[in-house]
Structure 1
């Protein structure tokens, strides 16, 4: 089964590039099958990682950034792949 973990944070005003750099520097061990990093409006950063694992498997995730870098707690979601019809 393929599981996707989504990690989304909103940077404090003017700190979007700092949050993006912080997220890109974080390594996960073991490494995921795939990892993509996105930026969005209002200095948001989104990281999606893909894993060959069960939906409830214990997997490494990006931590919470320093409170001086973000406006609120990180949002996290976990999804499993489904076959297309």
Structure 2
């Protein structure tokens, strides 16, 4: 089974590039490398990190931590999905 983890955060105004760099670095530091990893950005200084894993849906998987409160406007949003087609 393939599981996709999504991590999304919104940077404090004007700190989007800093949050993006932080997320990229954290994605590279995961204890175990995912099958696939993507880092994306969107308007309003949002950053999204998606990782795909060959694992069961409820498996313990490494996730990106919360960034410092000075960098984001709210808590990180996290979702877990099961891939149903590739």
Q: How far did residue 83 of structure 1 move?
A: 3.2
CA distance in 2, matches of 1:77, 1:9: 12
Corresponding residue for residue 3 of structure 1: 3
- Looking at structure 1, the residues matched to 3 and 31 of structure 2 have their Cα atoms a distance apart, in angstroms, of 16
> RMSD in angstroms over aligned alpha carbons?
0.9
Match of 1:22 in 2: 22
Structure 2 runs not aligned, ≥5 long: none
Q: Report the Cα distance in structure 2 between the residues aligned to 1:81 and 1:40, rounded to whole angstroms.
A: 23
Within the candidate set 56, 63, 67, 1:61 is matched to 63
TM-score normalised per structure 1: 0.96
Q: In structure 2, the residue corresponding to 1:42 is in which secondary structure? A: coil
Structure 1 stretches of 4+ with a deviation exceeding 4 A read: none
Unaligned runs of 5+ in 1: none
Q: Deviations over 1:21-77 (max 9, x none)?
A: 000111111110000000001000000000000000000000000000000000000
Figure out how many residues of one structure are paired with residues of the other and give that number.
Answer: 84
